[in-house]
Homo-oligomer: A and B are copies of this chain.
């Protein structure tokens, strides 16, 4: 394939002149510019992006660390990132980790070896202490709040969100409230959920927390465990609308009325919950993704909070 030298030779100019027309630099005579452009078109020449990246020391490419891609929440985040990347002519790399700390670090290393200008961490398994050292090689943006000055954040005040949701349930007269989570205590979200619960309701009966919930099926299993308890919960706060949907279906099988016998509220305002009229806490993850991207390309270490909103529908 033709390179910049071939173009220069055929156009009868130097490579610097070709480079100048390639990058729209001023101080190129119209005649030479036209001649170069003609040869470029003739030869169907495209500059090698890798060579450009090498010399410019930037790639206009950012990575998104995502434990899973087939998950509503991460998908929304990615969607936000992609939205902005297309507008700003950046390119994005998906970095699946399955919460493997080694893999996570390997992804961060792509900053160090110059493959990526920045990385957005949608969720992580490593401690910040292991992550921050990579900030000197490129921008690191988190989709959660952290004090670390070298990390930019596009975050939701999850604690406030959980608190308000539990309080809402309490205000509606519920005292037996259960909830589901994705991961266990190793997860920041889970910890905050538990703390918010305790703040509102006091001690958490262990049987009121069900882990490893991601899908509708998981929601059904969770409901199976919860709805046969002696002290059956009258409300369940699900960690997603799919899970909430599963709970709804299992409750229906038991002929329990929603919300009379069981109040249900989910998270993320997914299409799946709309038909069932499920209440939900929308953490606006698409916006979080967009904001995270913007911070990444601005190399900003700001902490930007994205507001959440509780969407009340008949299920509570």
Contact = CB atoms under 8 A, between A and B. Distances in A.
Question: Chain copies in the assembly?
Answer: 2
A113 B48 contact: yes
Interface in A204-250: 215-217, 220, 242, 245-246, 249
A299 interface: no
Given A49-B115, A76-B70, A115-B49, A246 B275 contact: yes
B271 A216 contact: yes
A109 interface: yes
Contacts of A265: none
A51 interface: yes
A94 interface: yes
Contacts of A94: 78, 82, 92-94
A101 interface: no
A93 B92 contact: yes
A79 to B, nearest CB: 5
A217 B109 CA distance: 42
A28 B3 CA distance: 35
A92 B91 CA distance: 11
Contact of A50 (B76, B96, B114): B114
A200 to B, nearest CB: 30
A49 B76 CA distance: 30
A242 B272 contact: yes
A190 interface: no
Contacts of A115: 49-50, 91
Nearest to A96: B82
Interface in A1-21: 1
A162 B36 CA distance: 53
Nearest to A112: B46
A38 to B, nearest CB: 19
A216 B245 CA distance: 13
A272 B274 contact: no
A59 interface: yes
Contact of A46 (B51, B103, B113, B272): B113
A49 B274 contact: no
Contacts of A70: 75-76, 79
A182 to B, nearest CB: 15
Contact of A217 (B51, B91, B249, B274): B274
A46 B275 contact: no
A93 B92 CA distance: 6
A53 interface: yes
Contact of A275 (B49, B69, B86, B220): B220
Nearest to A70: B79
Given A94-B94, A272-B242, A275-B249, A47 B113 contact: yes
15 contacts: A1-B137, A46-B109, A50-B53, A50-B54, A70-B75, A75-B75, A82-B94, A86-B103, A91-B95, A91-B110, A92-B94, A242-B271, A246-B275, A249-B275, A272-B272
